Amino acid sequence: MATPLTADRLLKALRDEGLEVVEHRSWRTNNRNHKGLWGPAHGVMIHHTVTSGTASSVELCYNGHSALPGPLCHGVIAKDGTVHLVGNGRANHAGSGDDDVLRAVIAERELPADNEANTDGNRHFYGFEAVNLGDGKDPWPAAQLLAIERAAAAVCRAHGWDPRSVLGHLEWQPGKVDPRGFTMDSMRARVGKRLGGSAEGQAEPPTKKKYEPFPGAAFFKPGRNSAVITAMGRRLAAEGCGRYAVGPGPRWSEADRKSYAAWQRKLGYSGRDADGIPGKSSWDRLKVPNV
């Protein structure tokens, strides 16, 4: 049992575990608290989205849809391992599940079979949706599996939980199959190793991602060809600012400029400050990975 983490503590826990985290829109106040209690927190639930594409999946999980209002989780884990925070508080992800499973999670013991749907899970579980079609064929990149491991471990570490506080949707609600493509036992083993709780050794220490330093505004000119521009474009697309018909690619283009202008506007810039030419402040906040 635990008081849910504040937005700041959740963000810090994820980044301290070595994750790249994107704060999506007004995630800190995006919740369903008006529909029911949030907390006490007891565990971390893993899902797959049954979608493809980072930007569209993040928007869906932030907004929800007509039959299920958002947020549909707390964080969306992209194929590249980036975690996009979309909610803070009660979220529509777990639904009703088995009270025997909840008691096992609280006691941190082996889970029984889920055969009832009599208990509100949205109140008690953090939820992470991993972008995957869930058809058993869509691959799970190593970077994405590592991010699921790190995200689950980050929440467990913040609360002092062991890996038996991590479960899949299919272990909570009868009829669910997610996440499909890896086993939760294997994921719990990974989380346990990271937390230092297994006989295989101590947890791998968190790593800090390195980012491209600002190359200067003059770098961004017609004809410039660089892997940095491709990496920038991918980050802009991940932030929902991509304006690319094809790409992004390594050559600076008008699509890059329009995409970066969208990023500047997202940060609150306007007029000449949102002309699509990167400046140091906006560049540093975009966090373009080293290439």
pLDDT at 204: 47
Would 78 be classed as within a structural domain?
A: yes
The structural domain count of the chain equals 2
Would 210 be classed as within a structural domain?
A: no
> How many secondary structure helices (H) and strands (E) does the chain include?
8, 10
Say if residue 25 is in the same domain as residue 129.
Answer: yes
Q: Flag whether pLDDT at 207 surpasses 60.
A: no
pLDDT digits (tens, 9 = 90+) for 89-140: 999 999 999 999 999 999 999 999 999 999 999 999 999 999 999 999 999 9
Would 258 be classed as within a structural domain?
A: yes
Say if residue 224 is in the same domain as residue 186.
Answer: no
Say if residue 190 is in the same domain as residue 259.
Answer: no
Would 207 be classed as within a structural domain?
A: no
Q: How confident is the model at residue 282 (pLDDT cuts 50, 70, 90)?
A: very high
* Peptide bond connecting 248 to the previous residue in cis, omega within 30 degrees of 0: yes
pLDDT digits (tens, 9 = 90+) for 39-71: 999 999 999 999 999 999 999 999 999 999 999
Q: Flag whether pLDDT at 202 surpasses 90.
A: no
* Peptide bond connecting 179 to the previous residue in cis, omega within 30 degrees of 0: yes
Say if residue 156 is in the same domain as residue 235.
Answer: no
Residue 222 domain boundaries: 217-286
pLDDT at 208: 52
Average the pLDDT over 207-219 and give the result: 83
Alpha helices in the chain (DSSP H): 7-16, 54-63, 99-107, 142-159, 184-195, 227-238, 254-266, 280-286
Say if residue 121 is in the same domain as residue 249.
Answer: no
Average the pLDDT over 163-190 and give the result: 96
Say if residue 226 is in the same domain as residue 189.
Answer: no
Average the pLDDT over 218-225 and give the result: 92
pLDDT at 211: 87
CA distance 218 to 202: 47
pLDDT at 203: 43
Q: How confident is the model at residue 223 (pLDDT cuts 50, 70, 90)?
A: confident
Q: How confident is the model at residue 200 (pLDDT cuts 50, 70, 90)?
A: very low
Domain boundary residue among 160, 195, 230?
195
Q: Flag whether pLDDT at 197 surpasses 70.
A: no
Q: Flag whether pLDDT at 244 surpasses 60.
A: yes
CA distance 241 to 285: 14
CA distance 147 to 82: 7
Would 202 be classed as within a structural domain?
A: no
* Mean of per-residue pLDDT scores for the chain: 92
Cβ atoms within 10 Å of 212's Cβ, excluding its own: 19
pLDDT at 209: 60
Say if residue 256 is in the same domain as residue 165.
Answer: no
Domain boundary residue among 195, 228, 262?
195
Q: In terms of Cα–Cα distance, which of 102, 35, 101 is closest to 64?
A: 35
Q: How confident is the model at residue 290 (pLDDT cuts 50, 70, 90)?
A: confident
Say if residue 226 is in the same domain as residue 191.
Answer: no
Domain boundary residue among 195, 230, 264?
195
Say if residue 276 is in the same domain as residue 191.
Answer: no
Q: Flag whether pLDDT at 201 surpasses 90.
A: no
Say if residue 251 is in the same domain as residue 138.
Answer: no
pLDDT at 210: 79
Would 274 be classed as within a structural domain?
A: yes
Q: Flag whether pLDDT at 1 surpasses 90.
A: no
Q: What is the domain-level CATH number for residue 55?
A: 3.40.80.10
90's tokens: 């009660």
Would 156 be classed as within a structural domain?
A: yes
pLDDT at 117: 96
Q: In terms of Cα–Cα distance, which of 41, 57, 56 is closest to 1?
A: 41
Say if residue 234 is in the same domain as residue 121.
Answer: no
Would 178 be classed as within a structural domain?
A: yes
Say if residue 121 is in the same domain as residue 246.
Answer: no
Average the pLDDT over 168-189 and give the result: 96
Q: Flag whether pLDDT at 220 surpasses 90.
A: yes
148's tokens: 């699921």
